[in-house]
Amino acid sequence: MSDPSEVVYGDLTFTDTHPALTSAIAALRGLHTPAVEHARILELGCGTGFNLLAIAESLPSATCTGIDLSPSHIRRASETATAIGARNVEFHCLSIADYHPPANSFDYIIAHGLYSWVPPAIRESILSLIRHALAPNGVAYVSYNTLPGWHVRSIIRDGLRFFSHTPSPRRSFDLLAQSLLTPNSIYAQALNAEWADVNQQPDYYLAHEYLVPNCEPFYFSAFNAAAAAHGLQFLAEARFFTNSFAQNENTLAHLDRPGDDLIRREQHLDWLVGRYFRQSLLCHAEIPLLDDPDQSTILDRTIALTAESSDDPFTQQVIDQLAPVTVLPAAELDLPGPLLVPLLWNGWRAELWQVRTDTPAIQPGAALSPLARLQAAAGPTYTNPLHRPQKIGVRH
Ligand SMILES: C[S@@+](CC[C@H](N)C(=O)[O-])C[C@H]1O[C@@H](n2cnc3c(N)ncnc32)[C@H](O)[C@@H]1O
């Protein structure tokens, strides 16, 4: 097959990268980030730009900059920006290693699907760029593949690369998976379970995730050490329910005791769940952070509904209050104060709603945004105002 790095990536958006969500998580640890509405946002390795374009559309007074090495990705990003009339976003075709913005020039920096997939020197460039360009109270999002979960996935990667000289590494590997000589072995079971999942993915994803020359998973503790060497520290995970501090009682009982080092607790959790992917938030190392998250900050946030119902009657009361309007300041919810914070915390963990620092403009039945119209025309999903993929014809 041809060079996998040259396969054009999909037009994807990633909910957890949105600054209105990452800033709400940062506040739990006492970091008060710049207001997202006027933020300066940088996306590194932005691919075809759809994630940044959707963020730019949702925050029209923010200024957004996207960087990518691939001319075809940046061409598609710039053409799409023109097609949808986006005025607050610009794209540049260059390597992160050659990008030298002024110090403190971005409030939020996003690097999704990049850190594990570039050579070691570029990984260093990513972290030193974040340290240099991130505002003193800014937040950086970095996703990467993690161990121990990726040990199993590595079998698939190595196998696909073994067949990279064939016209279709996917078909060759599939044939192998069906012909294993010891089908009851642990090897065969692990390989088949993992392959059933990976084989669902589109060709461009297989090319960029599994077939490219660089794809390195890290233990969380190693990633954290690399960040620390660049004057950065771990804030939290961008997907709320995956944080060690957001676990239920059952999981907490297995983790190191509260008060123990957060980094160790996070690493311990990865061992418990066999984690293979992280979306870590970083900030400057000098910032004093709370060890125990301040749950009461939820009361200053906007709650944006993402679920339709709950078995729990109190939770259903919240859903009923949100349902007609979809977004509401938490303080305006009509429930007794002592109940509200734990209820909002648990619903956040169950992904019944988002907790945001902005108030997205959502009117039920409103026309789709220009980017969403373009996505809807290509189908089968578009990015809704909560930065979530939405099936065409289904309400927000
Ligand atoms: C796996 S794709 C991810 C794209 C997008 N962020 C996403 O997650 O959908 C990795 C992207 O990083 C870009 N890239 C790789 N090395 C780079 C570098 N040194 N500087 C800038 N971009 C780079 C590639 O061109 C590609 O678009």
Is the pLDDT reported for residue 255 higher than 90? no
Calpha distance 136→139 (Å, rounded): 9
Give the orientation angle of helix 186-198 with respect to helix 150-162, to 10 degrees: 80
With a pLDDT cut of 70, the percent of the chain lying above it is 95
Q: What's the pLDDT at 337?
A: 79
Q: What's the pLDDT at 338?
A: 85
Ligand 1 pocket test, candidate residues 3, 7, 9, 16, most atoms within 8 A of CB: 9
Distance 142 CA to ligand 1 centre (A): 12
Q: What is the pLDDT of residues 284-302, one digit of tens each?
A: 999 999 988 999 999 999 9
Q: What's the pLDDT at 379?
A: 81
Helical ranges in 217-327 per DSSP H = 220-229, 249-252, 262-273, 313-322
Q: Which two tokens stand for residue 192?
A: 């088949």
Q: What is the pLDDT of residues 198-226, one digit of tens each?
A: 999 999 889 888 998 889 999 999 999 99
CB of 122 within 6 A of ligand 1: the answer is: yes
CA angle in degrees (0–180, nearest 5) for 383-385-391: 40
Q: What is the pLDDT of residues 306-342, one digit of tens each?
A: 988 888 888 888 888 888 878 999 999 988 878 899 9
Is the pLDDT reported for residue 396 higher than 80? no
Residues in the chain: 396
User: Which pLDDT band holds residue 261 (cuts at 50, 70, 90)?
Assistant: confident
CB of 69 within 6 A of ligand 1: the answer is: yes
Give the domains, in start order, of the chain with CATH numbers: 11-147+217-284 (3.40.50.150), 150-211 (no CATH), 302-356 (no CATH)
Residues 149 and 41: beta-carbon distance below 8 Å: no
Is the pLDDT reported for residue 120 higher than 90? yes
Ligand 1 pocket test, candidate residues 69, 109, 206, most atoms within 8 A of CB: 69
* Minimum CA distance residue for ligand 1 atom 3: 113
Is the pLDDT reported for residue 281 higher than 60? yes
Least confident of 64-68, 128-132, 171-175, 312-316: 312-316
Q: Which two tokens stand for residue 196?
A: 């059933």
CB of 66 within 6 A of ligand 1: the answer is: no
pTM given for the model: 0.94
Q: What's the pLDDT at 1?
A: 57
> Among all chains, which residue has been given the structure tokens 């339709």?
308
Q: What's the pLDDT at 363?
A: 73
Mean pLDDT along residues 343-356: 95
Three-state SS at 252? helix
* Minimum CA distance residue for ligand 1 atom 4: 47
Q: What's the pLDDT at 395?
A: 52
User: Which pLDDT band holds residue 7 (cuts at 50, 70, 90)?
Assistant: low
Closest CA to 273 of 295, 293, 246: 246
Conformational region of residue 310, where left means phi above 0, alpha means psi within -120 to 50, and beta covers everything else: beta
CB of 70 within 6 A of ligand 1: the answer is: yes
Mean pLDDT along residues 10-31: 96
Is the pLDDT reported for residue 258 higher than 80? no
CB of 93 within 6 A of ligand 1: the answer is: no
Is the pLDDT reported for residue 366 higher than 60? yes
Calpha distance 100→123 (Å, rounded): 15
> To the nearest whole number, what is the mean pLDDT of the chain?
92
Q: What is the pLDDT of residues 172-204, one digit of tens each?
A: 999 999 999 999 999 999 999 999 999 999 998
